[in-house]
Structure 1
C-alpha cells in the first residue's frame, strides 16, 4: 500500500503525486491554499466517534461525544456493552447509533472484524468489510479509514460537498452521482485521500467567496 496519509509531510508527498497524475488540479490546489491532514484515534473509539458524528454539525457531534466518552467504559467494546441503553441515549446518541455501536462492539469481541487488518486492505475491500457491520455504510467506513487509519486511497464519493466541489472545479455540467464521482476519482488513485481533502478545502474556499453559491 502507498504511504499512510497521517502527517503534514505525508500529505505534501501525496498532494505532489496527485498533481502529477492530474494537471487540472493545480489550479484547484492554488485556489484552496494550504491545509492540514485530519487525524483521529483508530480502533473502536475512533469508529464510534465517526458514527456519533453522522449527519450532525461539528459542534453538536463534539458535545455529544464529550458526554458519551465520559461514561465509564464507553470507549471499550466490552465496557460499552455493559452500559444501559438509556444511559447511552442520555448522552445524545440516537437509538440507531446506539444499536450500530453495539453491533460494532459485538463484532469486535466475537473476532468477526479486526480493525487493524481491515486498515491494511485495499480501499474497496476495507470499505466492504466495515460495511458488513449492521448500521455502518460506505460513508462512515470511508471517513474512519481516512481520518483514523490514514488510509491513502479512499474517496467518499457519496459526500455532497465533494460532489459539488468536483463539479465546480472540473467544470462539469452538473453534480456527479456517487457512481460517476467514484469513476472520476479512480484517476487519482493511489492518492484519493489527498484528493478528497483538497476538494473539501476547495469547497470551503468556494463557499467563502462572494457570489459563489453551492
Structure 2
C-alpha cells in the first residue's frame, strides 16, 4: 500500500504535475497544496458524514455545535445523545442514523479504525460502505485524509469534478471523462485530487477550517 506523508508529499506533487500540463500550471500559480490530513478516529468520520451533500460551512457549523456540547465525539458519547440533542446540533434524521450506526459498529467491535491502517483500500471500503449512510465518497475521503493512501479519485466530489473542468478548460465534465483523464496519474490520483482541490479553493476563495 502506497501512502503519502509530510516527508514525501511535495516530491509526489512534483511527480504528478510532471504528467499533466494543467496540474503543472496549478503548482506554478498557487504553489503546493496543503497536506490535508485528519486523525484516524471516530470524530473525523462524524465530520466527514456531516460534510455529505452540504456546504463545508454547514458541516463545520454542525460539527462545532456538537463539539461545543460534548467535546470530542466518541461512539459512547454519540450513543448517549437523544434525537433532540442531535437535532440541536443541526443533525438531520438521516445523519443521526448514520453516526449512530457507525458508533454501534465500533462499540460492538465490528469495525476497527486502527486495524484499517494495515488493510488494503478495497477492504477498508467494503467495511465502511457496509454501514448505512457511508458510500464511496465518504470511504474515499477517509482513505485519503485519514490513511494517506495515494490512489483515491472521488468522482462523487463536486469540487474535484468542477476543478478538473476549470484546470483543463473543458466546457463540461463527466465521471467517465474525469476517470480517463486521471488514468495516467495512477498510482497517485490522491495527489492529483489535492492539487485540483487546491486550485478550486484558491479560485473560489473557500475557507477550509478542518
TM-score (norm. length: structure 1): 0.82
Q: Counterpart of 2:195? A: 198
Shift of 1:187: 2.3
CA distance 1:197–1:184, shift in 2 (3 Å) = same
| Residues 28/83 of structure 1: CA separation in 2 closer, same or farther (3 Å cut) | same
**Which structure 2 residues correspond to residues 57-72 of structure 1 after superposition, within 5 A?**
57-72=55-70
One of 89, 92, 99 as aligned partner of 1:91: 89
Q: In angstroms, what is the RMSD of aligned CA positions?
A: 2.4
Number of the residue aligned with 1:188? 185
Measure the CA separation in 1 of the matches of 2:199 and 2:65.
Answer: 33
Q: How does 1:127-146 map to 2 (within 5 A)?
A: 127-146=125-144
| Cα offsets for 1:27-73 (capped at 9, x unmatched) | 34323433211122222111011112223333332222122123347
Give the unaligned 5+ runs of structure 1: 209-214
CA distance in 2, matches of 1:43, 1:196: 22
- Determine helix, strand or coil for the equivalent of 1:149: coil
Instruction: For 1:73 and 1:80, locate their aligned partners in 2 and report how far apart those are by CA, in whole Å.
Output: 11
Report how many aligned residue pairs link the two structures: 204
Q: Confirm whether residue 115 of structure 1 aligns to residue 147 of structure 2.
A: no
CA distance in 2, matches of 1:112, 1:162: 32
Query: Structure 1 CA distance, aligned partners of 2:90 and 2:20?
Result: 45
What does residue 155 of structure 2 align with? 157
The offset of 1:92, in angstroms, is: 0.9
CA displacement at 1:130 relative to structure 2? 1.3
Corresponding residue of 2:208: none
**Regions of 4+ moved over 6 Å:** none
Shift of 1:168: 3.6
Structure 1 residues 166 and 2, CA gap change in structure 2 (3 angstroms) = same
Cα distance in 1 for partners of 2:28, 2:80 equals 50
Pair 1:18–1:72, CA change in 2 (3 A): same
Distance 2:204 2:80 in 1: 44
* Counterpart residue number, 1:34: 32
Counterpart for residue 174 of structure 2: 176
> What is the Cα deviation at residue 207 of structure 1?
4.4
Aligned-pair CA distance for 1:194: 1.1
